[in-house]
Amino acid sequence: MLSPLRNRFGIPGVISVIALVFAMLGGAYAASSNSGGGKASASAKAKKGPPGPKGATGPAGPAGPAGAAGAKGDAGAKGDTGAAGSSGTNGASAEAVSFAGAEHGCTEGGIEVKSAKPAVFICNGKKGTNGASAEAVSFAGAEHGCAEGGIEVKSAKPAVFVCNGKAGKDGKDGSPWVAGTAPDKVILKGTWAIPYYSAAAGGERIPAAISTGVPIPAGPGFYFAFARGVTFASAEEKEFAELLCPGTAEGPTVNTAFADKELGGAGVVCVYALTATNLTGPGIEPTPTNWGPMNSGGGGVVNFISTAAGIAKGSGSWAIYTK
């Protein structure tokens, strides 16, 4: 019954209406009592008067107890990236000046860093004393623990003695040919080079000088073999050259046993090519066209042969077996 009123007027309104009803009933009861008539009282009691005016809103009731905490909500979406901050101001460049004398707590001068706030002072260290110059004298004989003399360093404190080593034994006498003509049956070695030569045609002789450093003894002649790195005139020549000259450009040598047995006392010139362009050997027979020894100064001239017209060049090593 009270629900429509409560919905329309609220709790305070309902209370006001109830109060008004009780007030009216009380007034009717009072009137009935004063008149003394039972019928009039019954009539007034039965008749419902019009609703009274809306009463004033009552005071707010006390706050109810706090409800239980709700469940934790979901995390919110990530916010937008904030705008970039403004660039900072440029820092000051380092500034430092030196000063001399007793200043800023320094006795020997120093450096003032002016750009620091406050300024910073870096003092120089104190000057050290000058060192003594080295002084050494030599001595001979058995002194200061040295059997063969030595050197005394006087400037050291205490003095230091450096002994000479013991005298070594005399070496064997060298062969006397280094000051004269090379003897028989020795191998001399060296290098050769033809930097550039323009051959007009194939078969042209191209000279290359080699130096032995000492004169070569005159003999019945020299066999010449141009081994490794070139095209040979025949398979026989290639076989002979490689048998007589078994070395390489990095390690030139002569087959001395074969030379002594098969060549009848002739010398051998082995030429090894490290590089060779348009060059070949002139043959293996001992003729003036392929080898010309220079007995007076030491060495000789090797005459190579061009294979065709054009640029000829090469380099390598040689070994000569004297006879």
AA identity, residue 119? A
Query: Do residues 307 and 205 make contact, with C-beta atoms less than 8 angstroms apart?
Result: no
Residue located via tokens 């300024």? 119
Alpha carbon 273 to chain centroid, angstroms = 41
> pLDDT tens-digit profile of 227-284?
665 566 678 878 888 888 888 889 999 999 988 888 877 788 888 888 889 888 766 6
> pTM higher than 0.95 for the full model?
no
C-alpha distances in angstroms, 288 versus 3, 185, 267? 149, 21, 14
pLDDT of 33 strictly over 60: no
pLDDT at residue 197, rounded to an integer: 92
Helix (H) or strand (E) holding 34: helix 2-35
> pLDDT tens-digit profile of 57-116?
888 888 888 888 888 888 888 888 888 888 878 877 778 888 888 888 888 888 888 777
